[in-house]
Amino acid sequence: MTQNIADRLAGTLLGTALGDALGLPAEGMSAGAIARRFGRLDRFRLLGRTGFVSDDTEQSALVAQSLIRHPEDLERCVGAFRRSLLGWFCRLPWGVGLATVRACVRIGFGIRPTGVMSAGNGAAMRSAIVGAFFHDRAEPRRAFARALAQVTHRDQRAIEGALYVAELAAACTRSNPGTAAASCQQEARQVVTHPELGQAIDRARELALDGVSPDAAARLCGTSGYVVHTLAFATFCFVRQDHDPLSTLSEAIAVGGDTDSIGAILGAWLGALHGESHLPKDLINRIHDGPFGPSHLRSLAANLEQARSGQSSRSPSYSVTAALVRNLALYPIILGHGFRRLLPF
């Protein structure tokens, strides 16, 4: 039995959205605060039973859109992503990292290079779809992942983090059903040369194989927005997974920290490994289905598959006005969650 590439592409994008939406309400909270307020995070908690994605999913969609438009032209693809990112930034998205804010300002003023020296998560969180798209072509995969990362981040840790996320997504997409997650991770590890990032990832793998608990691993790996912490802990959760994507994501988010980015990266890897068909469909369909919602992401995946096969394909459109209105409408809710975290109960 061989892999279904269309299913894996959709799984990568929808897994990103699932982890992002599950993790968003808990971002910045401690494990104890999450347990007291939410209990087990196996459903959406931001606004009723509806899930909402943040910048992790939206930037992944912008990357997918750019790949559809220019699947063989690196320079034009990067240019398209740069323009799309600026337009997206002007629609006032929430949850944007400081490095991405600074990069978008540089894009707006025409300053080159646009990327800044930051080792945050912004480049890594959107890179999985590059790996899934170029899963069978190592040279363009690494060239596109590197160049797209540098649009916002130029720190070597951030760039290699993006390469690692893409490489692991590629290994998952190539894998046959039943392939061990640890095998895919070991294959992807070769692209990391930065000693700090490599050592953190290797330690996380060992912790997973040794059966260390998520709480203990979170303390040892870190769960902040620092890309070394994020990728180490996401690796730990991926290697120790029990073939239930929702359970794996819930355990990862429960320890706190940068939960939406950890969830988005981990969800993308799980979706690339298992495909959309093995993700919780009912839960995904409760994600708000506006711009960057499930229907939009499924259309992007279908068009990516067409672009891979050399067919002419147009990126699915969405309402810019609807995206702006949604962002403005949700700002009070996001801010309310932020202030709520300051309370000791």
118 is in an annotated binding site: no
pLDDT score of 345: 58
Helix (H) or strand (E) holding 306: helix 294-308
- Per-residue b/e over 63-82, b at no fewer than 16 CB within 10 Å? bbbbbbbbbeeeeebbebbb
Which two three-digit tokens encode residue 184? 């895919």
β-bridge mates for residue 257, sequence order: none
261 is in an annotated binding site: yes
260 is in an annotated binding site: yes
pLDDT score of 344: 60
72: containing domain: 5-342
Which residues, at least 6 apart from 194, have a Cβ–Cβ distance to it below 8 Å?
156, 157, 160
Which residue in 237, 304, 247 sits closest to 13, CA to CA? 304
| Rounded distance between C-alpha atoms, residue 99 and residue 227, angstroms | 12
Which two three-digit tokens encode residue 157? 């840790």
pLDDT score of 94: 82
258 is in an annotated binding site: yes
202 is in an annotated binding site: no
pLDDT score of 34: 93
β-bridge mates for residue 153, sequence order: 116
- Consecutive 10-residue averages of pLDDT for the chain (345 residues): 84 98 94 91 92 96 97 97 97 92 98 98 98 98 98 98 98 93 97 98 98 97 97 98 92 96 98 97 95 96 94 80 88 80 64
pLDDT score of 1: 42
Q: Report the CATH number that the domain containing residue 256 is assigned in CATH.
A: 1.10.4080.10
**pTM of the entire predicted model:** 0.96
54 is in an annotated binding site: yes
pLDDT score of 242: 76
Total number of domains in the chain: 1
Which residue in 214, 119, 215 sits closest to 160, CA to CA? 119
